[in-house]
């Protein structure tokens, strides 16, 4: 019994002293149903297309990238996509526009995400989180989409760069 306790303590000390690298590898190894990089991209692109078509949104820019699910840039990764659209006439009008968008998307099965706290309006469907940010005087309004943290094959070296996406 003492040997097991000593081995457990040694293992815990090794994890704590080795830092986040070991924890991130453990996190990536614990993904039960991994996605390919292509699947993680398709997950957010498909959700973005649904949003754009349902709302008749005029897209000014849409960009995709693979985003690490931790601060070290290690696996797992997820698909991430940002949609920009023309600003409303005022911040208040932008907030009203987003409230209308949220209501319309909720009628299509998008729901609030009580686990995510943000400065924007948050909806979730099929494990994709969409956050709506109102425009300001110096920033276009945007919808930021986050896919699931299930891509364990993408790395810092293979994640690529931001790419423009056609959502029509």
Residue 33 counted as domain residue: yes
Residue 102 CA neighbour count, 13 Å, CB half: 20
Does residue 96 fall inside a structural domain? yes
Do residues 64 and 73 make contact, with C-beta atoms less than 8 angstroms apart?
A: no
Model confidence, pTM:
0.80
Domain that includes residue 160, residue range: 19-164
Q: What pLDDT score was predicted for residue 15?
A: 41
Q: Which long-range contacts (CB under 8 A, 24 or more apart) does 131-137 make?
A: 132/98, 132/101, 132/102, 134/88, 134/91, 134/94, 134/95, 134/97, 134/98, 135/87, 135/88, 135/91, 135/94, 136/91, 137/91
Per-residue pLDDT of the chain (168 residues; tens, 9 = 90+): 544 444 433 434 334 433 444 444 555 567 999 999 999 999 999 999 999 999 999 999 999 999 999 999 999 999 999 999 999 988 899 999 999 999 999 999 999 876 767 778 999 999 999 999 988 766 789 999 999 999 999 999 999 999 999 998
Structural domains in the chain (count): 1
Residue 13 in any domain: the answer is no
- What single-letter DSSP state applies at residue 56? T
Answer whether residue 140 is part of any domain. Answer: yes
Q: Positive or negative CA dihedral for 18, 19, 24, 29?
A: positive
User: Could you tell me if residue 37 is inside a domain?
Assistant: yes
pLDDT at 12: 41
CATH of the domain at 111: 3.30.2030
**Lookup: tokens for 128:** 């994709």
> What count of Cα atoms within 13 Å lies in the side-chain half-sphere of residue 28?
20
Residue 131 in any domain: the answer is yes
Domain assignment of residue 31, yes or no = yes
Q: Quickly tell me which residue has 């190894």 as its tokens.
A: 29
Is residue 6 a part of any domain in this protein?
no
């Amino acid at each position: 019994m003492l040997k097991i306790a000593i081995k457990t303590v040694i293992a815990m000390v090794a994890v704590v002293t080795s830092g986040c690298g070991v924890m991130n590898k453990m996190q990536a190894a614990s993904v039960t149903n991994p996605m390919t990089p292509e699947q993680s991209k398709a997950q957010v692109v498909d959700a973005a297309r649904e949003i754009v078509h349902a709302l008749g949104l005029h897209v000014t820019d849409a960009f995709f990238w693979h985003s690490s699910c931790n601060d070290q840039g290690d696996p797992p990764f997820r698909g991430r996509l940002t949609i920009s659209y023309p600003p409303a006439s005022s911040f208040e009008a932008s907030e009203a526009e987003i409230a209308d968008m949220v209501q319309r998307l909720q009628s299509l099965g998008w729901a609030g995400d009580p686990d995510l706290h943000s400065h924007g309006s948050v909806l979730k469907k099929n494990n994709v989180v969409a956050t709506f940010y109102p425009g300001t005087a110096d920033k276009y309004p945007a919808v930021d989409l986050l896919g699931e943290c299930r891509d364990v094959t993408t790395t810092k070296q293979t994640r690529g760069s931001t790419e423009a996406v056609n959502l029509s």
